[in-house]
């Protein structure tokens, strides 16, 4: 059990996140109370617990845990950011000493570690300076500082090339899948066995059409950088509805002038020649065919309902249809897989030579079917080391085969959520095959108009694109439930009407 006793609610989120990074499978108890109470309480606490005491004052911070005590005194009254950064560094040093372990990502607990590095690079810092900054400011390991800088450098190069601050991107969500994978953390609806699937999809696509029309008007005259149709599994739509969706997109957006038009064809069992031809003639430039693993036993365990051979077949079909930019997603830490199984997946994927591939670390919701099955079977949690080894294997494979890391993100570390404390996802691509949308959405440097149930739009405030200033992002969310989205489409559009440089609309 981990207890945090603090005399203030300041920086609670950051403190919790860092403590959970050191103790990945616990949800710490947070007690906010006056100093005297804390001291009295401290004496009464059992030694079996890890009790962390944090005393925050205007110009000083003191942290105690077990027999380690550290203090920081500011010369002047610090601003919020400086205070938070020093607090995290101090807490990190205390916990590093108490646990005897260092964290690869140091004090960084956020989802987008490369964002900090991109800012520096766009402001003119060299790669060496950025690496140094990541290590000194956040205590990142050499390995992670190197990875982060390499990713940031590629992202900055692409962002500059596309003139990111002038354009906008569009995301369209298709929240349907053939069946639900047992580890799924999205709110996707399985169409298999759904009696009203046809009617529901038809109504959903018409609602999407209304929202597309509105976005077209709202962004009239602005350059469209990229379109991304994700999900769910967009290719679960039958040929008639896939064609209708592509027609809607083409009639509302200038697809030809966009730098990229991606459609996730994630589940190989949803792909056929006719659908690929529809996508191709609609101007789709990039698709994803996602194996997740090339081991059939694991596919069965995770409820994917397709085989590795089906992945190979779908991939070859896509090549035959003329797609010259195909991504493949794989997951490290699935099922009972060990490093040999993961190596087998990498080998099979390498035979196909995709243009890019993304490696995810498995994150499993507490309530997921996957976790229930695993726990019932008594399958133990993976050590972070196994997943870490897998991620290193993928990086090595990428390097040997001409891929470079170009975007990355970390999963939010919620207690009990992850099977691994490593929690990072990295996209690798061959030169010129990077997904622009992936970079735009990660870096939050361009407005993304998101259409569909559960879609979250981000309006990026105008700012000096190359400055080091924090950018302002105004969010706008659509309702998640598909039925509600359809019924309340006019309200979703009205929300977008109010989506300006004012306040977030949810
Ligand atoms: S394909 Fe993706 S979105 Fe669909 S159920 Fe599987 S994990 Fe979830």
CA dihedral 480, 483, 484, 488 (to 10 degrees): 120
Q: What span, in angstroms and rounded, lies between the C-alpha atoms of 67 and 86?
A: 21
Instruction: Tell me, in angstroms, the distance from the centre of ligand 1 to residue 180's CA.
Output: 6
Rounded to the nearest angstrom, the distance between the alpha carbon of 292 and the centre of ligand 1 is 11
349-367 burial, b for 16+ CB within 10 Å, e for fewer? beebebbbbbbbbbbbeee
Give the C-alpha separation, 261 to 238, whole Å: 20
Distance 379 CA to ligand 1 centre (A): 22
Distance 259 CA to ligand 1 centre (A): 27
pLDDT of residue 419: 46
Ligand 1 atom at minimal distance to the Cα of residue 290: 1
- Ligand 1 pocket: which of 174, 232, 293 to mutate (most atoms within 8 A of CB): 232
* Whether the predicted model's global pTM rises above the 0.85 cut: yes
Let me know: does 175 contact 454? Beta carbons within 8 Å.
yes
Integer CA distances (angstroms), 295 to 180, 181, 345, 346, 391, in order: 18, 15, 7, 11, 17
379 in contact with ligand 1, CB cutoff 6 A: no
Annotate 427-461 with b (16+ C-beta within 10 A) or e (fewer): bbbbeebbbbbbbbbbbbbbbbbbbbbbbebbbbe
Taking the centre of ligand 1 as the mean of its atom positions, its distance from the CA of residue 166, in whole angstroms, is: 33
What does the alpha-carbon distance between residue 386 and residue 390 come to, in Å, rounded to a whole number?
6
Which residue is closest in CA terms to ligand 1's atom 5?
A: 180
* Tens place of pLDDT per residue across the chain (506 aa): 899 999 999 999 999 999 998 987 778 999 998 765 666 665 555 557 889 999 999 999 999 999 999 999 999 999 999 999 999 999 999 999 999 999 999 999 988 999 999 989 998 999 999 999 999 999 999 999 999 999 999 999 999 998 887 889 999 999 999 998 888 877 789 998 888 999 999 999 999 999 999 999 999 999 999 999 998 999 999 999 999 999 999 999 999 999 999 999 989 999 999 999 999 999 999 999 999 999 999 999 888 889 999 999 999 999 999 999 999 999 998 888 999 999 999 999 999 999 999 999 887 665 556 666 666 665 555 555 688 899 999 999 999 999 999 999 987 755 444 445 557 899 999 999 999 999 999 988 899 999 999 999 999 876 655 654 545 788 999 999 999 999 999 999 999 998 887 656 66
Q: Are strands 223-231 and 167-174 parallel, antiparallel or unpaired?
A: parallel
Q: Which two tokens stand for residue 208?
A: 């999407």
Cα 99 vs. chain centroid, distance in angstroms? 28
243 Cα–ligand 1 center, Å: 22
Site to substitute for ligand 1 among 174, 179, 184, most atoms within 8 A of C-beta: 184
SS3 477: strand
Look at ligand 1, atom 3, and give the residue with the nearest C-alpha.
232
The pLDDT value given to residue 439: 96
Nearest protein Cα to ligand 1, atom 2 = 232
Q: Give residue 470's pLDDT.
A: 45
Looking at residue 42, what is its pLDDT?
58
- Does ligand 1 have an atom closer than 6 angstroms to the CB of 190? no
How far, in Å, from the CA of 420 to the mean position of ligand 1? 20
Q: Is the CB of 266 inside a 6 Å radius of any atom of ligand 1?
A: yes
* Ligand 1 midpoint to CA 298 (Å): 15
With the most atoms of ligand 1 within 8 angstroms of its CB, the residue from 266, 425, 454 to mutate is 266
Angle formed by the axes of helices 489-497 and 197-218, nearest 10°: 20
* CB distance 24 to ligand 1 below 6 Å: no
- Tell me yes or no: is domain 163-185+197-493 CATH 3.40.50.180: no
* 474, 444 contact by CB (below 8 A): no
CA of 78 to the centre of ligand 1 (A): 45
Nearest to 154 by CA among 426, 338, 394, 454: 426
232 lines ligand 1 (CB under 6 A): yes
The pair of three-digit structure tokens given for residue 282, joined into one six-digit string: 């609609």
Q: For the chain, how many residues are written?
A: 506
Residue whose tokens read 């306040």:
503
Let me know if 398 is exposed, middle or buried by CB neighbors in 10 A (0-12, 13-18, 19+): buried
418/416 Cα distance (integer angstroms): 6
Say how many Å lie between the CA of residue 475 and the centre of ligand 1.
25
Q: Which residue has the tokens 């080091």?
A: 468
Q: Does 233 contact ligand 1 (Cβ within 6 A)? A: yes
How far does residue 185's CA lie from ligand 1's centre (Å)? Answer: 8
Percentages (nearest 5) of helix, strand, coil residues in the chain? 45, 20, 35
Instruction: Provide φ and ψ at 79, rounded to 5°.
Output: -80, 175
Q: Which residue's CA is the nearest one to ligand 1's atom 8?
A: 184
Q: 174 CB under 6 A from ligand 1?
A: no
Q: Is 186 in the pocket of ligand 1 (CB under 6 A)?
A: yes
- 311 CB within 6 A, ligand 1: no
Helix (H) or strand (E) holding 304: none
The pLDDT of residue 477 is 95
CA distances to 50, 442, 488 from 458, rounded to whole Å, are 40, 11, 20
CATH architecture of the domain covering 2-99: 3-Layer(aba) Sandwich (3.40)
Query: ∠ CA(49), CA(50), CA(51), 5° rounding?
Result: 100
Taking the C-alpha atoms of residue 53 and residue 31, their distance in angstroms, rounded to an integer, is: 10
């Amino acid at each position: 059990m981990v207890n945090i006793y603090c005399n203030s609610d300041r920086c609670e989120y950051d403190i919790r996140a860092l403590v959970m990074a050191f103790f990945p499978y616990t949800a710490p108890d947070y007690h906010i109370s006056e100093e005297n109470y804390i001291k009295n309480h401290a004496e009464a606490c059992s030694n079996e617990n890890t009790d962390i005491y944090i005393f925050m004052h205007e110009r000083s911070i003191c942290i105690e845990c077990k027999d380690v005590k550290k203090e920081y005194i500011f010369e002047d009254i610090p601003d919020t950011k400086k205070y938070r950064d020093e607090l995290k560094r101090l807490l990190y040093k205390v916990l590093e000493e108490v646990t005897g372990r260092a964290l690869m990502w140091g004090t960084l607990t956020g989802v987008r570690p490369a964002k900090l590095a991109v800012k520096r690079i766009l402001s003119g810092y060299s790669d060496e300076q950025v690496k140094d900054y990541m290590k000194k400011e956040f205590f990142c390991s050499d390995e992670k500082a190197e990875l982060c800088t390499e990713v940031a450098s590629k992202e900055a190069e692409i962002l500059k090339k596309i003139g990111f601050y002038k354009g906008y991107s569009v995301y369209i969500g298709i929240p349907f899948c053939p069946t639900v994978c047992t580890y799924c953390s999205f709110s996707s609806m399985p169409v298999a066995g759904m009696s009203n699937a046809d009617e529901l999809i038809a109504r959903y696509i018409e609602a999407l059409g209304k929202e597309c029309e509105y976005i077209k008007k709202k962004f009239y005259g602005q350059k469209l950088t990229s379109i991304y149709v994700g999900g769910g599994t967009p290719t679960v739509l039958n040929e008639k509805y896939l064609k209708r969706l592509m027609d809607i997109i083409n009639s509302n957006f200038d697809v030809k002038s966009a730098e990229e038009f991606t459609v996730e064809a994630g589940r190989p069992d949803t792909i056929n020649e006719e659908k690929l031809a529809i996508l191709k003639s609609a101007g789709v430039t990039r698709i994803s065919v996602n194996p997740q693993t090339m081991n059939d036993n694991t596919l069965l365990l995770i409820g994917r309902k397709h085989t590795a051979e089906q992945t190979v077949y779908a991939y070859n079909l896509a090549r035959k249809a003329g797609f010259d930019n195909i991504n493949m997603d794989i997951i490290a830490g699935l099922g009972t897989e060990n490093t040999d199984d993961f190596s087998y997946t990498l080998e099979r994927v390498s035979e196909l030579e995709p243009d890019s591939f993304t490696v995810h670390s498995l994150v499993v919701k507490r309530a997921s079917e996957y976790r229930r099955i695993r726990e019932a079977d008594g399958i133990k949690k993976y050590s972070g080391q196994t997943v870490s080894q897998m991620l290193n294997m993928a990086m090595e494979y990428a390097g040997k085969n001409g891929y470079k890391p170009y975007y990355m993100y970390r999963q939010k570390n919620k207690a009990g959520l992850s099977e691994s404390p490593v929690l990072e996802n990295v996209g690798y691509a061959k030169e010129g095959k990077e997904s622009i949308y992936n970079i735009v959405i990660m870096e939050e440097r361009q407005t993304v108009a998101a259409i569909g149930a559960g879609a979250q739009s981000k309006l990026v405030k105008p700012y000096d694109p190359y400055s080091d200033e924090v950018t302002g992002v105004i969010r706008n969310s659509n309702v998640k439930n598909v039925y509600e989205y359809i019924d309340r489409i006019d309200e979703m559009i009205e929300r977008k009407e109010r989506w300006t440089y004012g306040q977030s609309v949810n």
